[in-house]
């Protein structure tokens, strides 16, 4: 019986190619749009958390600050709110690190008469308080210490970036919901169109003894097949676009620390099941509407 229903469903899809193509494309489009937003968030928020984890505030002191003053300044910074620890990096230490990093150009450094680097503090923040406002706040507090010449906490623009991402996230959710609802309705209307063009056929089927189930089950299967096809096509389009974009991105900007990632298999399965649900639900809505009006 199930194979008969499948046969009927497939035959009906073949007979109404145009309307069914419209449904498949709609579902595919909503998968593409919703999922590309989700992909964007997943990857950008990954970058952000990675960068945030690495947030270190560097406070460089004036060159003429005497060494006796150092512990006092360190204490002052340690006392600031949300500071986890403060490490003093002497100019000598910094110079050694620099020399290590510039081994090949060591001749450059050897020509220097004196160490040009300032004494500095490296400040790490308590993980839970790493919001952009707090980072900025702390930075300006450190800046206001008179012996501090300059505060650097890199990626200042990240703050603005994360704000934009949050904005994107909201509009992404809204669009995702909008498109899913829209595809349910488009599928519902497509099925209704198909049913309307076949209402004589359905009427005849009833008159010769077909049960509601006999009429409905192939249509449900049809909806689920349309949903699955739309989901698969959407994922394929997404994946090929994803591959062509990521292969053009300079992996350098992600510092190799992490890989820009596509959906996992289980997420893809969820996407596929959701689009099948959309197909079925569209069918269900329009059948409820039509069957109710008949005897």
Give residues in contact with other proteins (CB under 8 A). Answer: 1, 4, 15, 198, 200-201, 204-212, 214, 295
- First and final CA of the chain: distance in angstroms? 25
- Comparison of 4 and 243: residue with beta carbon closer to other proteins: 4
Phi-psi region of 125 (alpha: psi -120 to 50; beta: other; left: phi over 0): beta
* In the complex, minimum distance from the CB of residue 210 to other proteins, in angstroms, rounded to a whole number: 4
User: Where does the chain have alpha helices with state H?
Assistant: 2-15, 17-53, 70-78, 91-101, 106-110, 132-143, 157-197, 199-207, 212-246, 265-292
Q: How far apart are CA 35 and CA 186, in angstroms?
A: 19
Question: Smallest distance from the beta carbon of 204 to other proteins, in angstroms?
Answer: 5
CB atoms within 10 A of CB 286: 23
Q: Which helix (H) or strand (E) holds 103?
A: none
| Complex with other proteins: residue 124 or 198, whichever CB lies closer | 198
Distance (Å, whole) CA 266 – CA 146: 55
The nearest distance, CB 4 to other proteins, in angstroms, is 6
Report the C-alpha gap between 213 and 233 in whole angstroms. 30
Q: Which is nearer to other proteins, 187 or 215 (CB)?
A: 215
Q: How far is the CB of 212 from other proteins (least distance, A)?
A: 7
213 alpha carbon, distance to own chain's centre: 42
Q: For strands 83-89 and 148-152, give the pairing.
A: unpaired
Q: How far is the CB of 226 from other proteins (least distance, A)?
A: 19
Instruction: Determine contact, residues 184/220, Cβ cutoff 8 Å.
Output: no
Give whichever of 214 and 277 is closer to other proteins, judged by the CB atom.
Answer: 214
Residue nearer to other proteins on the CB measure, 218 or 279: 218
Report the distance separating Cα 59 and Cα 23, nearest Å: 60
Q: What's the closest the beta carbon of residue 211 comes to other proteins, in angstroms?
A: 4
Nearer to other proteins, 6 or 262 (CB): 6
CB closer to other proteins out of 5 and 121:
5
Least CB distance to other proteins at residue 5 (A): 10
Distance from C-alpha of 96 to C-alpha of 102, rounded to nearest angstrom: 10
């Amino acid at each position: 019986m199930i194979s008969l229903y499948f046969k009927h469903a497939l035959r009906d899809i073949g007979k109404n190619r145009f309307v069914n193509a419209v449904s498949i494309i709609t579902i595919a489009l909503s998968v593409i749009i919703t999922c590309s937003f989700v992909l964007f968030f997943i990857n950008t928020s990954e970058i952000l958390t990675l960068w945030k984890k690495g947030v270190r505030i560097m406070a460089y002191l004036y060159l003429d600050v005497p060494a006796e003053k150092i512990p006092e300044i360190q204490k002052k910074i340690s006392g600031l709110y949300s500071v986890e620890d403060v490490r003093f990096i002497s100019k000598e230490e910094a110079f050694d690190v620099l020399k290590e990093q510039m081994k090949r150009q060591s001749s450059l450094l050897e020509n220097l008469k004196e160490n040009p680097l300032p004494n500095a503090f490296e400040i790490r923040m308590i993980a839970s308080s790493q919001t952009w406002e707090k980072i900025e706040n702390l930075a300006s507090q450190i800046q206001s210490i008179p012996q501090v010449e300059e505060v650097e906490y890199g990626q200042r623009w990240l703050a603005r970036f994360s704000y934009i991402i949050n904005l994107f996230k909201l509009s992404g959710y809204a669009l995702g919901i909008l498109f899913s609802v829209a595809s349910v309705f488009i599928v519902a209307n497509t099925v209704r169109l198909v049913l309307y063009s076949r209402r004589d056929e359905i009427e005849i089927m009833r008159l010769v003894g077909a049960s509601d189930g006999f009429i409905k089950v192939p249509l449900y299967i049809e909806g689920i097949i349309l949903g699955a096809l739309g989901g698969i096509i959407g994922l394929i389009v997404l994946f090929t676009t994803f591959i062509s974009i990521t292969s053009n991105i300079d992996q350098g900007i992600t510092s190799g620390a992490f890989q820009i990632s596509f959906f996992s298999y289980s997420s893809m399965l969820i996407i596929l099941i959701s689009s099948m649900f959309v197909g079925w639900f569209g069918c269900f809505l329009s059948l409820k509407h039509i069957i109710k009006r008949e005897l």
